[in-house]
Structure 1
Amino acid sequence: MFQFDNSYARLPDHFYASVYPEPVEGPVLLKFNEALAEELGIGADLSDPARLAAILAGNVVPQGATPLAMAYAGHQFGSFVPQLGDGRAILLGEVVDRSGTRRDIQLKGAGPTPFSRRGDGRAALGPVLREYILSEAMHALGIRATRALAAVATGEQVYRETPQPGAVFVRVAASHVRIGTFQYFAARQDVEGLRILADYVIDRHYPELKERERPYLDLLRAVAFAQADLVARWLGVGFIHGVMNTDNMTLSGETIDFGPCAFLDEYDQMKVFSSIDQGGRYAYRNQPGIAQWNIARLAECLLPLIDDDQDKAVLSANHVLSEFGERFQTQWLAVFRRKLGFLEEEEGDGDLVQGLLSAMQEGEADFTRTFRQLCHVAGGESDELFLSLFKDPSGASGWLSRWRTRLEQEKALPQERASAMRAVNPAIIPRNHKVEEALAAANYGDLSFFERLLQALEKPYEDHVEFADYAVPPKPEERVLQTFCGT
């Protein structure tokens, strides 16, 4: 099934713990991503779902796999934990996909590991399906993210606040190396381990840096820019990660770990959904600053590699942190220029973006619908539906006048502009109430809501009459106020 070539397992033993998945009682395949399997070059025998479920649940370890749990540390809500590691995830191995890219195949919920910290190493069905939905939705939106290969029911229950059906999630990632992985070695003052890890990341993700004069400084810059670009894209679709700890930030620049994440309904720059984010550390508006803070923690780890002179190393690293801010601002403005239909750059565009966001905040306007309806206005339709999205439309009406004055500086035809805007302003996102609806039904054995939601999210930038209900904001009684970690 898998053609493994396991590079991480060839690193020194203290980078991970060798551990096999713990078999489950009755694995049943709930969902298998055939398109992704084809992309990965995986030959899955769909005629034997029981055998496939046994492999994907960890009951049968496929030939060539070298199962392991990765060691890492991390700052969790600002507090450093020197040892975390994969407590309920086991890396089966790596495959090289059809494009020549190396990809990790990981089982989440496959049993305890040496890093489980007294946990059971299992996952509940709800969080597994949630990660499946959210990771595939992000991919469809064109935002870099880990992918979902499969979801498998275990036939067993897991015990959290209440008994819940258990499941295993099969995750695909460019790699699972995190900022926290570097922190693990830095906390132990293991400079050689840091060097080996940095060289590994350069080889795997940034091979163009190998011949650079200062490869480790350039690695810091490459990761910083990848994260700046990623967070700018998050903000463009109203995404709130919810747990931007350093162990949840990858060196590859992929979105990872879809625990309490959520998408904005009405725009609120300080919106928090995560039940464990009591202080709003990871609120929508705070995500760029937190990303920069996390990159600073990576910089601290890399200082011994950047320069033998610590003062020079700190100076160089601080320059990269400054560049992060500049890169983010450039990318954020580029994202929102496109959302507003600006095909050219003009001074004052940032003020126009902020003007609309302020009107949306004051008018409690739905984030996704506001930008999608603006596409119709750009195409020549009436302002009426757009303005109806605001509780008080006066601010939005004044903003529309300024927006139209700005558009007069460009030569694009209305339909050309509207088409470009529809390509970056989704009609459908995984709205929180629809996700919760699908998960609640799945817990009672009904996967039809899950399947239909996945279908609706496949082409989020297109209007589909049959999925019109997924584009509608929640009614007051349908609002999801909190989301929860799946651990």
Structure 2
Amino acid sequence: MRYQNTYANLDPRLYHKQPPTALKNPRAGHFNLALAEKLGWTEDEDLMSRWVDILGGQYVPTEFEPLAMAYAGHQFGQWAGQLGDGRGLLMAQVLDNSDTLQDLHLKGIGLTPYSRMGDGRAVLRSTIREYLCGHALTTLGIPSSNALGFVVSDTPVRRERMEAGAALMRVADSHVRLGHIEWIASFAPDLLGEFTDYMIDTYYSECRDSDSPILSFLQKVVERTARMIADWQLIGFAHGVMNTDNLSITGSTLDFGPFGFMERFNPAWINNHSDHTGRYAYQNQPAIGYWNLNVWLPHFMRLPDVTREALAECLAPYEATFMQHYQQGLCRKLGLTHETDSLQLAFDFLTLLEDNLLDYTNGFRGLLGLIDPDTHPYEKQLLVTMINELPPEALTLYQAWRERYFTKTATLTKAEVVDSLQNNNPVYVLRNSMAQRAIVAAEQGQFTEVERLYNLLANPYNVQDIATELDTMPPAPDAPQLPISCSS
């Protein structure tokens, strides 16, 4: 691999260098060979033969420089003070096959100075959920951290019950969070200029050509964040804990705790059982992204020539960027071009899904069964299932909507509509029930279901023979949408 451990050369106040605390008897859970090839990991025989030892913390390659990052953050809208890597270490930074810098971050590997009241460990169930979710978002085309692999061990970890300790090697284009700047502003303000230069030079080097590199950098962070959240909304993904310490400066999805993919469509869905007010509900994510950035940006006023008015101009494109990206994507999910009447059709379809608690993923994918039923029998059956759930008055509304939709799609070629529907509406997302079945099997020592789901989610836009009916089955209409615990 091509190592480029730049973070380890920054001011030592920003991190604490330490080795991982080894897990007892680590064993292979799953290895992401495709990602390993992209990183150049497969070209090193030592890395390949000892990946379980590396992820288990028993072996640290000489090129690695493990460290725990310090950062701070606002959690649920309140200042939380110093946080930091409490159970993870940035092990190394490498250039991948596309010359993109990637962080190798080992999670669940013991106490650090930032652990606070934690034990520095991760359990198998949360590790599997993060492993599969990062993989799912990546293959869906949404900027996200991914993972090289995970291991399970004999190290006992107490949560609500005693569980098996596990570790995951997370790979992301950056682990620098909005919270890094919050930490610097509170605890080392003299580092702000140096660290801002690092962020620009490392992640936004094109901004150096701007008349004001700092303001150009800040606006790009705003725009990338807006596009990422629009991608979440389009696919029906709820992050669940959008604290400032969980948002990356590169606009890539980071930190999978109580996340979830929408099943029966309910915009007010709260998927985090600790979110008692619904702050991080699915429908609130765009506004929370704006709130987080609005908290983050003023710290840069400490730098020369950065005024409040200039920062307002940096933040101003957020709403327009989000709306354009979301609206264009929503039209593509209907196989249509971005026009006013296309948007109205899309919003009316969302209302139909919401009012009747229809499945979000199946509902959009089922449109292929409406446009091209002979070639898409699977989607035709999805459509039939959806229609059969509609009460008479809703069925009448659907039929009227269908006629408007046919009229609009008639202005395009059938091939154009089908292509857009196929490429913007997945067949498979990581439903909670899918992840839970893999977790139950893994806790019994069987990782074949993790392997099957990994392969299934690797190609989410095509119907696959390895799928089962349970992979696309939503919960019953009257079943509660279960929130997920932060405990991991």
Q: TM-score, normalised by structure 1?
A: 0.93
Question: Would you say the 8 A contact 2:290–2:318 is kept in 1?
Answer: yes
**4+ residue runs over 6 A deviation:** 44-50, 476-479
In 1, Cα distance between the equivalents of 2:49 and 2:481? 36
Pairwise CA RMSD of aligned residues? 2.0
8 Å CA contact 2:264–2:475 kept in 1: the answer is no
3-state SS in 1 of match to 2:245: helix
Counterpart in the other structure of 1:445: 445
Is the 1:185–1:193 contact (alpha carbons within 8 Å) kept by the matching residues of 2? yes
For normalisation by structure 2, the TM-score amounts to 0.93
- Give the secondary structure class of the aligned counterpart of 1:202: helix
Percent of paired sites with the same residue: 35
Q: 1: CA distance between counterparts of 2:472 and 2:43?
A: 34
Q: CA contact under 8 A between 1:387 and 1:397: conserved in structure 2? A: no
Once the two structures are superposed, the pairs formed by residues 64-103 of structure 1 within 5 Å of their partners are 64-103=63-102
State how 1:63-462 maps to structure 2 within 5 Å.
63-188=62-187, 190=189, 192-305=190-303, 307=305, 313-342=307-336, 344-379=337-372, 384-391=384-391, 392-408=394-410, 410=411, 412-462=412-462
Name the SS of the counterpart of 1:465 in structure 2.
Answer: coil
Distance, in Å, in 1 between the alignment partners of 2:195 and 2:47 is 39
CA distance in 2, matches of 1:388, 1:63: 61
8 Å contact kept, 2:207–2:216: yes
Q: Is the Cα contact below 8 Å between 1:438 and 1:447 reproduced in 2?
A: yes
In 1, are the aligned partners of 2:30 and 2:450 still within 8 Å (CA)?
no
Residue by residue over 1:93-112, the C-alpha shift from the partner in whole angstroms, topping out at 9 and shown as x without a partner, is: 11111111111111100100
* Matched AA of 2:318: F
CA distance in 2, matches of 1:400, 1:63: 62
Distance in 2 (alpha carbons) for counterparts of 1:189 and 1:10 = 17
The whole-number CA distance in structure 1 between the counterparts of 2:428 and 2:252 is 21
The aligned amino acid for 1:465 is D
Aligned-partner Cα distance in 2 for 1:111–1:478: 38
Q: Secondary structure at the match of 1:210?
A: helix
- AA partner of residue 333 (structure 2): K
Question: How many residue pairs are counted as aligned between the two chains?
Answer: 478
CA drift of 1:414 comes to 1.8
Kept in 2, the 8 Å contact 1:28–1:152? The answer is yes
Over 3 Å counting, the alpha-carbon distance change for 1:389 and 1:226 in structure 2 is: farther
Q: What runs of 5+ residues in structure 2 fail to find an aligned partner?
A: 375-379
Q: CA deviation at 1:118?
A: 2.9
Partner of 1:30: 29
- How far apart, CA to CA, are the structure 2 residues paired with 1:306 and 1:433? 52
**Segment drifting more, 255-264 vs 397-406:** 397-406
1:483 aligns with 2:484: yes
Equivalents in 2 of 1:386, 1:277: separation in Å? Answer: 31
**Separation of aligned partners in 1, 2:90 and 2:153:** 18
Q: Is the 8 A contact 2:273 2:484 kept in 1?
A: yes
